[in-house]
Each structure stands twice: as C-alpha cells, then as structure tokens.
Structure 1
C-alpha cells in the first residue's frame, strides 16, 4: 500500500459516516471517495495535478474539511486563515504560488482581490441545497488524473512567524500518512469514535489530529463553524462526541461554561479529552479530569512534524500532568547547544527525527542549516526526558526570560499563578528592563466575579517561587490577546500591552 493520503481514505466501509455538521445530513465514506475523485478530475481538466498547490480560503465547517481532504489526497493543500486582510493574502499567495484559490460561492473575501492582483485563478465551491455535510463541486469539465506518489507535497503551511518572516513548511504525502497513523494509534481511534471539532482548519492541529487521523481510522468528525464556548455544550448534546481536541485557552473557556451546564456535562460520555499546541497547566488538567471524568491526553506537536511528536498514553498508561508524554511517532532526544546528546533528566533542546518530519523549509538554506543537526530537527523547545521517557517542556527557548543572567521558565510561573483560586488564566512573559535586560511580567484573567490585587498574587507566588521568578508586573485583563489559532503569543505580549522599559 502506498503511504499517501489517498490510501488512508480507502479503508472505511462505504456506508460509514465521515463528516457531520450541526443540523446537516452526514457524509458517508463512499460519498467522500466519490467527491475526492470528482474534484481530482475537475482540477485535472484545468491542468492542476499532483504536487500543485491549491489555496483554500473557507470558514470552518464540513466543506473546509472536505476541501482539505480532496486537495491533500491528490494535490497540495494550502489552507489560509479566512480572516486575513488583502495585504496578508498578497504576501502568502506570493510566497506559495498556488495554481488556484478555493472560496465560498458568493464570497467577498479579500483573497479575491489579492488573487486577481497576482493573476491567480479563483474557483467557487458549488454546494447543492440538499447536499450532505461537506459535499461540493467546482465545475462540470473532468479529465483523467494521476494519483500522487509518497514524495509529492500534500500540505504546505507557514510557521507562525512571531519573531521573523514566516517560513514555508512543505509536508509530503508520506509525512501526512505517517502522522495520521501515529495519532490514530496513540488515541486508539476506531469507527465508533466521533470527534467534535472546534479547532481552526487552517492550522496543523485540527487538520491532522482531528480530520485526517479520524478519516484514516474510519471514524467521524462533526465540523462546527469554529470554537464557540457558548455553543459547545449544545453541539455536544446533539452530536454525542467520544472526544474533542483543543488548545488550553479553549479548554479553560469550556470549563467556565461547564459550571452553567451541569446537565449537558452529565450527558457527555467522552472517552478522552485531548490538548495540544500549547502547554496545559496542571490545574487545568485536573479540572478537565474532574469535570468530564475521563482521561486527559496532553500531546506535543508542531507544523514541521506534521503535528504530533509526543503524547501521554491512554489507560492503562499513565497521564502525567505537566508532561507532554512519551515519543508518539518520531524519535525524541535532548541535545545540548553543541548538538551532543544529554543524559536522562538533563535539560536541553528537544530534537526529533522520523517519517512525519518535513525534509526542510522551502527556499531557506539558512533556516535549514540552523534547524537540522546530524539528521535531527531542532524544535526550538527546551525540556528533558525523565527515567520513564516522559517529556517535560520547560519553555520555548526564545521565550525563556533572561533576568540579568537568571533564566526563568514562563511555564513554571504560569503553573504557580494558576494555583490561586481567583486566577482563571495566567500568561508569564518577558518585558524590557533598563538594567536587567528583561524582567518577569504576567497577564492575568480572573475567575468571573473574583477580585484580586496584583500585590496579593505576588505574595502568593512568592510562597512557592524564588524571588527573581515572581512577576514584578502583573496586568489584570478581561482577555489575553491571542493569535489566530487561539494560542497566546508570549514574545509579542509586552508590546501588545504597551509595557516598555522599566
């Protein structure tokens, strides 16, 4: 069997459901396979085939999921955030050079203007009124097409680019095949599983951990319009999911709503809850366990690894709060600054290698030279492996706060601040300081109805943390600014909050 996305979609029975949406008829695997073949032939009629890039600019939902599966299984999918402005689209389209951009019928998204300016063709999805969730067509012309090989590109994404120009990450058919299998094996996904997707589908987490891993396992996914804490429990009651995956900020918002929806919570029969894309504070891990009465599976992923690198196991394996689990696909090692392996328990840079890891950034020899050492990919994360092979991430190397030579892990401070009963969210970050270079600061969101003075929280933190780790500046906010995928951008926070040198 070829290690391609197309081969993943061929295993499930024809009548099994693959995609649903609130209030919509489900799409069967037979209908998905027919859709995929039809779209491949329609694109072939316009000279678009294996390895060619197709940009997808659609809102979250079943059509976005189906468009991704169709593009990734026969071409190269290039999903873009539908909230971008025209100038952002011009940058990404110039960088990616797609053959086509897919949009909703009647869409006035600014990607149209950007595509027209750059001479990129645009196609609208045609969706019949009574079509099952995800079904669409492009045009009537069809032509014969050749399926991709394992080496063909299947997905292309940009890095977040918070500190430099975003880098282009091409991922092959073999990369996606390996990662989808790794995730499905880790989560023991079967045809009986049904995931409630709340992750954005222009990001590796939702695309791989939810859509492709489920489709490769013969499971099903409910494709919601996107994350909405107010609607989460209504969707859950209607769809009866066996699991969901989210970033920690989403989990925190869901937990807050859970207090007001005890009946809906009681009806949920989750096999597990999954968390990835940012560190899950132990306090949130515990609250999820106590609320949903199921295992909480924290995983570790990144775009360059086609998502999953490590994961906590399901029972009877142990789920360790504060750890991202054991290697779950690629090999993991800890290297020092010179590229030498470190012993168990020693802190250094987390490095990976495996069939799910990109072969390198596109047209960026400088980044590739810096990112690969002796076949290992350097993640940029700092951490260590314990005696049982569980990985502890102690921080993003670029996010570690250097306070006059004393290094402070923001994650460590976060975990302490979150132990205070009045704190719902805590994000520790570096702020500029005239003499120390950097000082420790924290953005805090309080539990609804709670009050707390910064000085009281500093005193609380000082009971656990060394004095130099206690935030000198605490800003209490209604909401911490986040990026498009729901992740907090620590490096940019001082600037976003207007905190200059002190």
Structure 2
C-alpha cells in the first residue's frame, strides 16, 4: 500500500522525468528514488532519523522540491519561509523543536544566528553543478545522539506546518506520511493525472499548496513538476516555453497577474496547450475563471484546500461533469458536510460550518488541547469556513466565519461583495473587509485595484454596488490602491487589512 512518501516515489517509470528546473536536465524517477535513499543514509549518518524535525530554509526551485521529498522519507520536514526575520525564525525553530536546519551552501541570513543560538544543527546544501535538477550534497557536523535510522513509517509525522495565525498564535499542524499519501492520491484522482502530465510550479514550496498539489501529487502519479525559482508574471510565459507543462496550479492573485501578460504572449499559449489550470487557497472570482478559460482554452478547476486537510478537501470535476463558477466543487477525498453551531449535521441548501473527516485530515494540533476541543466535533474537523452544499453535492463557501462582517447585527459575506465589485468594468481586483465603527461595531470597506488604463472613483464604485446589493452590504469606504497587501503565499488577507490600511 502506498502510504508513505517513499512508497509514492516508487510509482514512476525508471527513465521518466520527475523533477525539472532552469538550465538543468530533468531528474528521472529512478534517479529520484536512488537519491532519496542516499539522502536518508546521509541524514542518518549526521544523527537525524525518524521523528527528528528538520527545518528547510531554501529558495524555490528543484532543490527545495527534492529536499522536501527526500528528507520526508527519513525524518520530519518543516519548510520555513526564507523571508522570515530573526524573531520569526526564533519562534518557529523553538516551537518546532527543530534538531537541524537545512540552508543553501552560501547562506548567511538571519536563521543562522538563531539556529546556532538555540543549538540547532546547521546543514549546508550545495546543488550539484551540471547534474540533474534537484540533486545536491549535504554538509554538516554530526549532531550526536542516536538517530532512529531507516525509512519513515505510515504513522510517522512527515510534514509540520503552522497555521497562518492571523488572529491568534500560529498552531502546529502535524501531518503524517499517511496524510500526505492520501492527499496526493486525492489530487491525482481529481485531476486525472497521468505519467504524461507535467506541472509548472509557481507556488512557494514552504506552503501546503505547492508541496502537495504541485510536487507530491505529480510525482505520485508518475508525472513531473518543473520548479520555477518563484512566481514572476514577467517570466511565466518563458517558463511555459521551456517546461512545456500540461497544467499549473496557483492562487487567484497569480492567475490575475498572468492574465495581464497573456495578451502579448498568445503565441506561447497556442504553442503549449494546457490540459487544465487549477486554482486553490482562496476563492477564485467567477470573472477570472471565465477569462482564464477563454484565454487558455482549457478548463479551470477550482479546488478547496487547507493545511489541516493536507491541502485538498473539494474540487470542481473535470469535463464533461459540470464546473460551477463560484463553487469549490464536490468532495474530493475526505467526506464534506455542513454542521450547525450545536454539532448537528445539516442537509443540502442549509448554511453552516464546513466540516470534514478522512484519511488526509490531521489527527489534531500539537500541544494545543484547547484548539483541538474547539476544532473537532464527533470526529469531524471544523474548518472555520461557512458554506452550503447544493442538491448535486457542490459546495459553495460563503465566507470565513472570522471574516463575516457583523454590521450592527446584519451579517455580510465579504465574498458576495467582492464578486459584485469585480463586475465593475474598471476593477481588476477587489477585497472586501470589516473596518471598525463606533456604533455598529463593524462597517463594510473594500480595497480595489484598477485594470490597466482604466479610471474610476469611490463614488462611481459605490453607486455601481448599490444597484446590485442591499444598502447595508454596500461598502461605505472604497480605497483605490496600486496593490492590495498580500500574505506570503500571494493570498489577499481580509483579517487585519483595515489596520494595515490605516482604517483602524
């Protein structure tokens, strides 16, 4: 049974490509398997084994992908954002109880002093020049102590990530080898991935979306992932020409940036036909979905994911089944239901909290009994999202419970307002959020980015919205910005936006 990362690596044909990258030959599946076993032996030699936690601080690219895949066969991986500051590294390395940290061979950034100060072993990674993408050497002093040698087993923790913690201290999410294997299989099935498929990865590889949806699901299907050095809309079409992918996966803001460059790159779009485009990690405006399908001439599959589910929970199906713009699709792996505040499961058409259970769902947060008591009810994980499932089983997310705007008792879904604002001919991006109000508690505000060459003002946008929304849902404040602040993974973040934009 393929219930470990190492077992998933056995899928691909010996000489078929597995990992690609800029200016390097592809790494084959056979070479990746051998390299995983070589890396496990090296880590054991350095004193790292099953259950030991290894933080990985590497830039995007093939080495980050193979470091995740190979270290996960031997120990517990903990990818961290290389852009963190010393204070953040200090929090994460301490919270994770990391035994070692892997950094580039020439790294002299802020993680180094923190690791040394905390007694965390430093392992330097050097890419093998002139060899296949993703091959590297590890160099570090032996860490002492006994390492639990050998291949990781199904119940071992393979990956540890923190929740984003926009409203509270980030929570530790441990994901087992079995969780990862189940999720990779779910994504492969939803997208009908085959050995002929090649994903162009533009997602950051310290985040669940890129790690599981782009890299692990591709390798598990016997296909390949071409790893970009990080998202860059100006280089995206060059990468398409080089990588010749059959699909890519991204967050909505990336799709929007790609669309702004697509008009002048239609030759590439035609020369490298995509089988599908996937969108996940935040809601895709239906307008963007329609424009992507028209531009690339392929189906856009919106999926619904979160860290605690090892990414995917629901997905719109491939044609000929229906893709419903605005819906995140049907259950695609775990069971998905709607629950009320008292823990009662609701029927189709009823709105409540989205709950899930299945082989890809974490068994609980680490060292956090309070979060576990709040997060699980009768074996169901409460996602914190509000939604409704229609008679055909399609789930629509109506909002994040914490993001629902409470305007003097009137509850407003910011997503509903976003979709109306996106219909304005001058608006390219919109995010609706709560701003404080002395009497009502919260008031509706929105930040927008205009399409290139378009002009409008706050009054015009509010007038447009007032013709389509009940008065209490119309934003009282509309900010026109060059760019809306985003999180590290490119997602627009509603929580804390009022404060960031000086509306606190």
Taking structure 1 as the reference length, what is the TM-score of the superposition?
0.98
- What residue in structure 2 maps to residue 299 of structure 1? 303
1:283 to 284, 287, 300: 287
- Counterparts of 1:431 and 1:141 in 2: how far apart (Å)? 52
SS of 1:495's partner is helix
Task: Report the number of matched residues.
Answer: 500
Unaligned runs of 5+ in 1: none
By how many angstroms is 1:206 displaced?
Answer: 0.3
- Counterparts of 1:239 and 1:94 in 2: how far apart (Å)? 39
- Counterparts of 1:151 and 1:435 in 2: how far apart (Å)? 52
- What residue in structure 2 maps to residue 31 of structure 1? 31
- What residue in structure 1 maps to residue 498 of structure 2? 494
By how many angstroms is 1:5 displaced?
Answer: 0.9
- What residue in structure 1 maps to residue 128 of structure 2? 128
- What residue in structure 1 maps to residue 14 of structure 2? 14
| Structure 1 contact 45–141 (Cα < 8 Å) conserved | no
1:234 to 203, 223, 238: 238
By how many angstroms is 1:223 displaced?
Answer: 0.3
SS of 2:354's partner is strand
| Structure 1 contact 445–478 (Cα < 8 Å) conserved | yes
- Counterparts of 1:74 and 1:5 in 2: how far apart (Å)? 10
| Structure 2 contact 249–278 (Cα < 8 Å) conserved | yes
- What residue in structure 1 maps to residue 5 of structure 2? 5
Segments of 4+ moved more than 4 angstroms: 139-144
| Structure 1 contact 42–141 (Cα < 8 Å) conserved | no
SS of 2:399's partner is strand
1:162 to 158, 166, 170: 166
- Counterparts of 1:36 and 1:272 in 2: how far apart (Å)? 30
1:193 to 183, 192, 197: 197
Deviations 1:303-361 (A, max 9, x none): 00000000000111111100000000000110001110111100000000001000000
1:483 to 463, 469, 487: 487
- Counterparts of 2:354 and 2:74 in 1: how far apart (Å)? 33
By how many angstroms is 1:11 displaced?
Answer: 1.5
- What residue in structure 2 maps to residue 88 of structure 1? 88
- Counterparts of 2:219 and 2:497 in 1: how far apart (Å)? 37
Q: Give the alignment's Cα RMSD to 1 decimal.
A: 1.3
Unaligned runs of 5+ in 2: none
- What residue in structure 1 maps to residue 322 of structure 2? 318
The answer to which of 465-474 and 66-75 deviates more is 66-75
- Counterparts of 2:455 and 2:388 in 1: how far apart (Å)? 37
- Counterparts of 1:336 and 1:206 in 2: how far apart (Å)? 32
By how many angstroms is 1:2 displaced?
Answer: 4.8
- Counterparts of 2:302 and 2:75 in 1: how far apart (Å)? 32
- What residue in structure 1 maps to residue 151 of structure 2? 147
- What residue in structure 1 maps to residue 266 of structure 2? 262
By how many angstroms is 1:268 displaced?
Answer: 2.7
Aligned pairs (5 A) from 1:255-404: 255-404=259-408
| Structure 1 contact 237–268 (Cα < 8 Å) conserved | yes
Taking structure 2 as the reference length, what is the TM-score of the superposition?
0.98
SS of 2:138's partner is coil
By how many angstroms is 1:256 displaced?
Answer: 0.6
| Structure 1 contact 268–292 (Cα < 8 Å) conserved | no
| Structure 1 contact 41–144 (Cα < 8 Å) conserved | no
Deviations 1:84-127 (A, max 9, x none): 01111000000001111001011112111110111100011122
By how many angstroms is 1:51 displaced?
Answer: 2.0
Deviations 1:445-491 (A, max 9, x none): 00011100111011111111101101000000000000100011101
- Counterparts of 2:77 and 2:346 in 1: how far apart (Å)? 38
- Counterparts of 1:134 and 1:238 in 2: how far apart (Å)? 17
State whether structure 2 residue 55 is matched by structure 1 residue 51: no
- What residue in structure 2 maps to residue 473 of structure 1? 477
SS of 1:399's partner is coil
SS of 2:87's partner is helix
- Counterparts of 1:215 and 1:91 in 2: how far apart (Å)? 32
Aligned pairs (5 A) from 1:105-120: 105-120=105-120
